[in-house]
Amino acid sequence: MAEACVGGSFLSAFLQVLFDRMASPQVWGFFKGQKLDDGLLKDLKGTMRSVNKLLNDAEEKQIADSEVKDWLDDLKDAVYEADDFFDEIAYEAMRLEVEAGFRTSTDQGASFLSSFSPFNKVKEKMVAKLEEISRTLERLLKRNGVLGLKEVSGQKESTQKLPTTSLTEDSFFYGREDDQETIVKLLLSPDANGKTVGAIPIVGMGGVGKTTLSQFVLNDSRVQKAFDLKAWVCVSVDFDVHKLTKDILMEVGSQNCDAKTLNGLHQELEGKLKGKKVLLVLDDVWSSDQSRWDFLLKPFKSVAAGSKLIVTTRNENIVPAMHRAIPRNQNKESSPSPISIHRLMGLTEDFCWILFKEHAFNGEDPREHPDLQGISRQIASKCKGLPLAAKTLGRLLCFERNAEKWEEILESHIWESPNDEIIPALQLSYYYLPPHLKRCFAFCSIYPKDYRFLKEDLVRLWLAEGLVQPKGCKEIVKLGEEYFDDLLSRSLFQRSRCNESVFVMHDLINDLAKVVSGEFSFTLVGNYSSKISGRVRHLSYATTDYDALDKFEGIDKAQVLRTFLPFSHRRSSRVDSKVQYDLLPTFMRLRVLSLAPYQNVVQLHDSIGRLKHLRYLDLTATPLKKLPEFVCSFYNLQTLLLDSCMCLVELPNSIGNLKNLLFLILHWTAIQSLPESIVNLSNLHTLVLSECKNLTELPANMGKLTKLERLTDFFVGKQSGSGIEDLGKLQNLQGELRIWNLQNVLPSQDGETAKLLDKQRLKELELRWAGDTEDSQHERRVLEKLKPHKDVKRLSIIGFGGTRFPDWVGSSSFPKIVFLKLKGCKYCTSLPPLGQLVSLKELRIEAFDLIDVVCPELFGNGESKIRILGFEDMKEWREWNSDGVAFPLLQLLQIRRCPELRGALPGHLPALKELCIDRCPLLMASLPRAPTIRQMELFDTSRSVQLTKYQSGMLSLMVQKFYSQNSPLQGIEHIGVSTTLDKIEVHCCDSLMLFQPKSFPNLEILHIWDSPHLESLVDLNTSSLSVSSLHIQSLSFPNLSELCVGHCSKLKSLPQVPAPSSSPCQKRVLLPPNYSHLQYGVATGSLHAACNGIYASSPLFPASELVIVMMWNPFQRRHCCPQLLHHLKFGVLKN
C-alpha cells in the first residue's frame, strides 16, 4: 500500500529543495549569462519529477526489497551531488554580490562566468557535471523497469502539528506497580550477610521500560528516605570509567572534578561515599569487561552496610562481571551478596492498550470515537507489550481521527519487516513522518547513544545541512524549532531526567535513526574508520585526550563529506595538527565543521579557507587569539560559535560580508570591540555578548540588525557607538537583555526610545548605570521610560542614581515577575513597595547606602510569597520592621555585611531551610523559630550568640570569626541531642575553649580552624559517636584518615578514637587503622608535652609504620617520632 505512506518519502523533501534551487535567480543567471540552452535545465527537472513520483512506493517497498533500497541509496547519492552542484553556483553568485556589488541576475551570471580562468575551463567542468547528474538520474529512472515501482502522485505535505498534552510522562506509568514494589522491597531489605553492596540488575529487551521503572523506584519516597546518597548515571555502550566516575561525583555533590586524574577522582569519590548508605543506579549498561567494572566500583569499598546498586541492561551476561566487582567493604572473608535479577517482561495487552490510548486519544475518552476503539486495541496488541512502541505509535495517531488511516497503519506490511534490529512499531513511527521531519530525524544518527543535546544546537545543525527551508513569511529559525517540537511530541526525543532543557534519544530510537540514514552517516568508534563508505556525508566521533591522525585513517575516501563533528565529554582535548592542515582541507564540500574543544588549535590554518561551503563553524573553547580574515569569505556561514574562546581579542573587520550569518556566539571572550561592519549582518538572529568583560561599547547603527531576536547585552554609547534609540529599532528581541551604561543616555533623550514596553517576548531584563551621577532627576526620568512589558519575569535594576524609584517598579501591572534585584542604588532614600508583585519568589536588595529602615510596605501586608530573600552591603540599615508581615514560604534568608543592623529577625519562619548571617555584629542574638531549617551559617566579627534554640532537623552548622568573650557554641551540649546534625564547622572562633560533641551522635564532619584558645576536644571516643572527618586547621580527611592540628595554640589533648574492629584499608598503615596521615600545623611550645603524651599513650600509635609526617614549626624535642618512621617531611621549622 504505497498510498498508505502518508508521510511521504525522505527524498521528496530533498528534491523539493533542488526544485527551489533550480528556480533561483543565480541558476537562471548562470544559464542566461552563458547563453546555454535552458532545455538542459528543463529536461533535468522533468527527470526529477518522474523520479519523484516513484518515491513513495519505493520508500515502503525498500523494507522488504534490498534492490529497491539500493536504488534509493543510489538516488540519494545523486541528489546529494546535484545539491552540491547548485550550491556551488549559489556560492559564486554570493561571492560576486559581496565583492563586486549588487547586479541584476543576468549580469550576475555573466560576471560569474567571466570570473573563471582562461578558456572557461571551470565553466566547462560545471556544465559537464550537470550533464553527468542528468544522465545518472535518467539511468535510475530506467531501472524502474526491473523494480516495478508504481507512480504515486505527490501528496501535499501535512502542516498539522501534533497537539501538546497536559499529561506528564509520570502519568503514563502503567502495569509496573508490582515490579516497582518488588524492587523497593529488595532495596529496603538487609543483605544476607549485611556486609556488602547489594545489587539488583533489571534485565529486559529494549523499549520494555527498564529506565522508566528504575526512575520511579529511585523517586519512591521510601527509597529517598532510606539512602543518604543517591546517584543516577547513564552508562551506554562506551563504558568510560573516568567519565562515569566524574558523573557519579557530580551526582553526589562534587562541584568541580574536570581536571582530576582517575586516581584523584577515585579518592574524592571514596571520601564522599565513606560511611554513607548509597544507592547507585547504572542505566543502560552493555559491557561485561571485568577490569572496567573493578575500576568503577573500587571507591565503593567503604560505603555503609545496606548500600545498593541497580543496573539496567539488555544483556544478562554483564551480571557475573558486576557481581565479582562488588567490593567487600568490611570483612575480607565475606562474599558479595547474592544477586537478585529482576527480569522485566512486556506489559499485558490491557496495560499496553491503556498506554497507547492515553497518547493516541490525547486524554479524550475513546468511547467518543467508537470506530477507532476496536482498531486501537488491535494496534496496541501489535506493540508486543513494549511501552516505547505503544507511546510512539500513539503519538503518531494522536491528531488523526480518520478510521481509514488507522486501518492503513494496522494493515501495513511493515509489521512483517525482516529487519530484526528495529521494532516494527518504531519503523512505522518513522515512515509515517512528513518528509521534512524524516530528513531532520535521520540526521540525528550523528549522535552517539545516550548523548545529551540542546534544542538550539540541533536546530543550528539542521539549518546548516539545508534540512529546514523557508516557508512563506515564517522565519527559518522558528520553523526549525517547530520541527524539533514536533519530533519531541512524537516521543522521538525525550527530555533529560535531570534538566528539562536537555534532550536525549532512546537507544532504540537512536538505532532507528542510524538504520534510516544508512551508509550516509557514520559514527567513528575506536579504530574502525577503515569501514567508512565513500558515500558518507555526516561523520561524528568521540574525542580522546589526543586525537592522532591515524584515528581518521580511511576517512579521506569520503571526499563528499558534509559534516565533521566531534563530541566531547572532556573539557579539553588535543588533535594532531595534520588533521587541520592536511585532512580537513580535502573535504571541499564540508558544511559543518567543529574543532571544539581542541586546546592546541591556536590558529586556523590557511587551508581551512578553501572550505567555502561552510555553514557552521564551531571553535568553542579553543585558544584562538584572532579569527583569520578568510573566515569572512565563508559567504554561506550561518553559525559561528566562539563561546569561551577566552584569548580571542578581535574579529575580522570584514565580518559584515557574512550576509547569511544567523548566530554569532561570543560568550566569555576577550573581545574589546566589535567591527563596524557587524551592522551589515542583515540576517543576524542571535548575538551573544554575555561575560565579555572587556567590551564597553557597540558600533553605531546597531538598529540596522532588524532581524535580531536574541541580544544578550546592549551598551549605550556616548558620542560614538549605538544610542538608546538603536535599541528601539530592534523590535523582535526576546529572552534575556542587559542594558549597560544607561548614564550615557543624553538629557535630550529618554528611555522611551528603547521601546521596552513593546518588547513582549523579553522575559529577563537588567538595567545598569555606572553608579555615579550628577543628575539624579535625569536618571529617574530615564528609568521612568524604561518600563518593560508586563510579561517580563526577571528584573534587575543596578546602579540607578535616582533618589526614588518610579511608580511602575513594584506595580501590580507586572503579574509574572518572579525575580527582582535592586542593587547599588546608593542615592535612593526609600525602597519601592513590592507587595503587589503577586508572583515574586526571589528578592535581592543590595548596596543601598541611604536606607536605614526596611518597612513592612516593602513586602505588603499579610503573607508574602517570597521564597528567597537576601540583603547585602546595606551600610546604614539599622532596623527591619516586619510587623504585620508573615513569611510562610521563605526557604532561604541571607543577610550579609549589614554592620548597623539591630533588633531581631522575623520571629517565625516556618518554611526556612537555610539561614546565613554574615558580619552583622549588632544583630540581636535570638534566632528565628524555623522548624524546617537544614543549614545555618553564622559569619561574624564581634557579637555574642548562644545557640539556645537548636533546630531539631538541622543538618549543617557553620560558625566563623567570632572574637567575643562568649563562644557561640557555649552551652551547646545542654540544648539536647540532635539526631540529624552531621556537620559542624568552626572558623576563627577566638572564645572556643572546650568542645563536647556528645550531643550529636550522628556527627560525621567536624572542622575547627584557627581557634587559638581551644584547649580540649573530649568524648570523641563515645561509643555512639560516628565522626567521619575531624578537621582542625585546613585539611579534610574522611573517617579521621588525616589529622591536622594547627592554629589552636592552647590545645592540650587530642581525641583518642578507638580503632575500628575491621582490618585497615591497604593504604592505612599508620596510627590507628583508620589513620593514614598525621600533620602538625603551626603550633607553640604548649603542645610539646601533649605530643609526648600522645606518643606514649599508644592509642594513636599502634605497631604500624608511619608513612608520612609533615611538620610546620612543630617541636623542639627530638624523640617524639615512632620507631618505624619511613618518610619524614619538614616544613618551615623554627628553633
Q: What is the mean pLDDT of the chain?
A: 81
Cα angle value 975/979/981 (rounded, 5°): 80
809 pLDDT higher than 90 = yes
In the numeric block, which cell numbers belong to residue 180? 516497582
Query: Domain boundary residue among 473, 492, 511?
Result: 492
Question: Would you state the pLDDT for residue 38?
Answer: 74
Picking from 295-299, 351-355, 987-991, 1089-1093, which range would have the lowest pLDDT averaged per residue? 1089-1093
Mean pLDDT of 456-483: 94
Contacts of 137 (CB under 8 A, 6+ apart): 44, 47, 48, 51, 75, 78, 82
Picking from 529-533, 660-664, 858-862, which range would have the lowest pLDDT averaged per residue? 529-533
Contacts of 455 (CB under 8 A, 6+ apart): 481, 484, 501, 503
Tens-place pLDDT, residues 192-244? 445 557 899 999 999 999 999 999 999 999 999 999 999 999 998 889 999 89
448 and 487 both lie in a single domain:
yes
115 and 193 both lie in a single domain:
no
Confidence of residue 862 (pLDDT cuts 50, 70, 90): confident
Question: DSSP states of 491-522 as a string?
Answer: TSSEE-SS-TTEEE--HHHHHHHHHHHGGGEE
Question: Would you state the pLDDT for residue 999?
Answer: 64
| CB-CB contact of 85 with 48 (8 Å) | no
Question: Would you state the pLDDT for residue 1091?
Answer: 33
Question: Would you state the pLDDT for residue 1028?
Answer: 42
774 pLDDT higher than 90 = no
Which of 366, 361, 368 minimizes the C-alpha distance to 395?
361
Tens-place pLDDT, residues 973-1018? 555 556 667 777 777 777 666 666 566 666 666 777 777 777 665 5
For residue 936, list its beta bridge partners: 915, 957
**Based on the number of CB atoms within 10 Å of its own CB, is 530 exposed (0-12), middle (13-18) or buried (19 or more)?**
exposed
Task: Quote helix, strand, coil % in the chain, to nearest 5.
Answer: 35, 15, 50
Tens-place pLDDT, residues 274-285? 888 999 999 999
Confidence of residue 1059 (pLDDT cuts 50, 70, 90): very low
892 assigned to some structural domain: no
Element (H, E) at 21: helix 10-22
CA distances from 516 to 209, 376, 441, 904, 906 (A): 24, 27, 9, 68, 63
For residue 255, how far is the Cα from the chain centroid?
Answer: 14
CB atoms within 10 A of CB 454: 12
CA distances from 2 to 82, 403, 435 (A): 26, 18, 15
166 pLDDT higher than 70 = no
CB atoms within 10 A of CB 331: 14
298 and 407 both lie in a single domain:
no
Question: Would you state the pLDDT for residue 801?
Answer: 95
- Overall number of domains in the chain: 5
251 pLDDT higher than 60 = yes
Question: Would you state the pLDDT for residue 1001?
Answer: 64
| CB-CB contact of 874 with 852 (8 Å) | no
| CB-CB contact of 494 with 503 (8 Å) | yes
257 assigned to some structural domain: yes
259 and 384 both lie in a single domain:
no
394 and 316 both lie in a single domain:
no
371 and 398 both lie in a single domain:
yes
38 assigned to some structural domain: yes
The rounded distance, in Å, linking the Cα atoms of 213 and 177 is 9
Question: Would you state the pLDDT for residue 890?
Answer: 95
Question: Would you state the pLDDT for residue 662?
Answer: 98
186 and 331 both lie in a single domain:
yes
Tens-place pLDDT, residues 935-951? 888 887 555 554 545 55
Q: CB pairs under 8 A, 24+ apart, for 364-367? A: none
820 and 782 both lie in a single domain:
yes
CA distances from 382 to 348, 376, 609 (A): 12, 10, 54
Q: At residue 469, what are phi and psi to the nearest 5 degrees?
A: -115, 145
Which of 296, 175, 189, 185 minimizes the C-alpha distance to 233?
296
526 assigned to some structural domain: no
Share of the chain above pLDDT 70, in %: 77
Which of 329, 220, 341, 332 minimizes the C-alpha distance to 277?
329
| CB-CB contact of 38 with 128 (8 Å) | no
Which of 80, 61, 76 minimizes the C-alpha distance to 4?
61
92 assigned to some structural domain: yes
Tens-place pLDDT, residues 681-737? 999 999 999 999 999 999 999 999 999 999 999 999 987 778 999 999 999 999 999
583 assigned to some structural domain: no
Confidence of residue 452 (pLDDT cuts 50, 70, 90): very high
Tens-place pLDDT, residues 102-131? 444 445 555 554 544 433 566 677 778 889
Tens-place pLDDT, residues 1081-1133? 333 333 332 233 233 223 333 333 333 333 333 333 333 444 333 444 434 33
**Based on the number of CB atoms within 10 Å of its own CB, is 274 exposed (0-12), middle (13-18) or buried (19 or more)?**
buried
Tens-place pLDDT, residues 323-348? 999 887 555 455 666 688 999 999 99
142 and 235 both lie in a single domain:
no
Contacts of 169 (CB under 8 A, 6+ apart): 212, 495
Question: Would you state the pLDDT for residue 771?
Answer: 84
The rounded distance, in Å, linking the Cα atoms of 492 and 166 is 18
For residue 819, list its beta bridge partners: 794, 842
**Could you list the residue range(s) of the whole structural domain that residue 143 is in?**
2-147
DSSP state at residue 170:
G
| Residue located via cell numbers 543624553 | 746
Contacts of 469 (CB under 8 A, 6+ apart): 16, 17, 20, 436, 476
Mean pLDDT of 157-180: 62
The rounded distance, in Å, linking the Cα atoms of 174 and 355 is 7
Give the residue with greater pLDDT, 358 vs 93. Answer: 358
The rounded distance, in Å, linking the Cα atoms of 289 and 201 is 16
467 pLDDT higher than 70 = yes
Question: Would you state the pLDDT for residue 287?
Answer: 92
1002 assigned to some structural domain: no
1069 pLDDT higher than 90 = no
Which of 485, 493, 486, 488 minimizes the C-alpha distance to 509?
493
Mean pLDDT of 957-962: 74
313 and 192 both lie in a single domain:
yes
**b or e along 184-219 (b: 16 or more beta carbons within 10 Å of the residue's beta carbon)?**
bebbeeebebebbbbbbbbbbebbbbbbbbbbbbbe
CA gyration radius, the chain: 34
Give the residue with greater pLDDT, 772 vs 877. Answer: 877
Question: Would you state the pLDDT for residue 839?
Answer: 96
257 and 220 both lie in a single domain:
yes
CATH number of the domain where residue 207 is located: 3.40.50.300
**Based on the number of CB atoms within 10 Å of its own CB, is 678 exposed (0-12), middle (13-18) or buried (19 or more)?**
buried
498 pLDDT higher than 60 = yes
Give the residue with greater pLDDT, 925 vs 178. Answer: 178
841 and 803 both lie in a single domain:
yes
Question: Would you state the pLDDT for residue 1004?
Answer: 65
Helix (H, G, I), strand (E, B) or coil at 403: helix
Furthest CA-CA distance within the chain: 106
Mean pLDDT of 298-321: 92
155 pLDDT higher than 70 = no
Which of 392, 629, 627, 364 minimizes the C-alpha distance to 512?
392
CA distances from 1028 to 250, 304, 531 (A): 21, 12, 53
679 assigned to some structural domain: no
Give the residue with greater pLDDT, 146 vs 38. Answer: 146
Query: Domain boundary residue among 343, 361, 379?
Result: 343
Give the residue with greater pLDDT, 140 vs 967. Answer: 140
Query: Domain boundary residue among 343, 376, 395?
Result: 343
Question: Would you state the pLDDT for residue 969?
Answer: 57
